[in-house]
Each structure stands twice: as C-alpha cells, then as structure tokens.
Structure 1
Amino acid sequence: MTTVHWEEPFCGEGNSCYRIGMDGDGNSYIAVAGQETAYLTDSGEALRQLIRDIKAGKADHLLAD
C-alpha cells in the first residue's frame, strides 16, 4: 500500500475542507479531510490545475444541488 504524506487540511467557506498529499513516487493526492481513504490521485501538475480551475470558478457547476 502506498504511504501518502498529507498536508494540514485547507478549509474554505462552509464545510469544505480538503487535504493534499504526496507519496514517495511523486504522485499527488487530494481528499476531503477526514476521508483520506477515498481520494483522487494524479500528477502534481494535474491537481494544481484542478485547484486553479476551482478557484477561478470553472467548476461551480459541480457544486449545484
């Protein structure tokens, strides 16, 4: 099993808290804080771009009920 080194949670407005991590092979991970066993993994650059797009409002449709 891969060992992921998680950073401290990042909490935005409301209850959205996320953690970003990295393993020894350089893969990056993102998970909802407290649920680190259910994560997305990709290259570091791909996850950085995802975060940039979310911050730019390009993923607001994912938050709609």
Structure 2
Amino acid sequence: MNKFQKIACKIAKDDLKKDLYKNQTLKKRARFCYSVFNREKTKWPYEKCVDFKNWSKTQSW
C-alpha cells in the first residue's frame, strides 16, 4: 500500500462508523476515497489528504 491508500483506508474506517455509510463495505469506501485522491493528484497533495482525514474524523454526518 502506498501512503495515499493508507489514508483512504483510515478515512473509510472512520466513515463506516457513521450512519450515512453503514450500507457500504470497507473495501468499496476505501477504493472510492483513493480514487478521489488519485484522480486529482495536483489538488490532493499528501499533507492535504492527512488534514482532510483529521477533519473528516471529527465531523458527524
């Protein structure tokens, strides 16, 4: 796993604890998060991904 995949997996684990994402699997959610980071490489540097992970963890959807 590269560092972006690890962040995507952590975001997916945090998201699955929220009611909004209860019906998704960890694998599906992690792939979606990673695809967003991978598709927009210039807009999502590593530091911004880490900041987003930390911000997303504290949000309640």
Q: Give the TM-score band, short-chain normalised.
A: 0.3 to 0.5
Structure number with greater CO (CA < 8 Å, separation at least 6) is 2
> TM-score normalised to the size of structure 2?
0.41
Largest Rg, 1 or 2: 1
> Which structure is higher in strand share?
1
TM-score (normalised: structure 1):
0.39
